[in-house]
Amino acid sequence: WKELMYGQMLSVLLAQREFGNISLYTNEHIARQIQDIGIPYTDINTSVLEGVSSKSYTYPKMRVFREIGEPYLHIDTDTFVFKKLDFSKSKSPVVYAHSDQPVEFKEKVDPDVLSQYINNISKCYTSLFFLHEEEHQGLDPMNVDLFKIPNGNLTYVKDTALMRQGTRKALEYYERHKDIIDRNTYGGVYVEQMLIHLYMMQD
């Protein structure tokens, strides 16, 4: 869709302005579209995702995370970086942009807002986790503050071995249960944003 292309073009131009270069991981079909349109990626890699197919829109991203062996900043194609980010002082092995459901509750909580928040967390995360809780021995969902489950639109990875290990385990889980996960609107989000996070904390 051209509306997606407009956003992707802006995302790339901003990334180049702030960081100097940006690579795209995709397949041959989309690579040809990108090249024909003229979106100016520094490099387009089609080898990692060659032959990869999934109903989950987060699956290709996770396959790439499993492969990269040097520190990187991942930027979703609908994410815009207007100011260069400096991660040099960060002590965290992986840095995310923000929480997935950023909500602040004050002393007096609006019942409708709280109800919507709980519904969102259940649909995205806890319902699937407890559906297969027998597999998650050693994983403690309480290790993840439900107010701070990370959003993966912007992800800086310094410890690539940790990310690769967490992603590998999450993908193995996905492969075992992809029929159920793919039927869930937020199934891929759950695997990418909660399970990888939990597996990395376990390691």
CA distance 145 to 169: 21
Distances, alpha carbon 202 to alpha carbons 23, 109, 113, in Å: 30, 33, 32
pLDDT in tens, 41-83: 999 999 999 999 888 989 999 999 999 999 999 999 999 999 9
Residue 144's pLDDT is: 62
pLDDT in tens, 116-166: 767 777 777 777 777 777 777 666 655 666 667 888 899 999 999 999 999
The model's pTM is 0.84
Which of 97, 45, 47, 90 lies closest to 71, judged by CA? 90
CA distance 96 to 182: 24
Asked if residue 103 has pLDDT above 60, the reply is: no
202 pLDDT tier (thresholds 50, 70, 90): confident
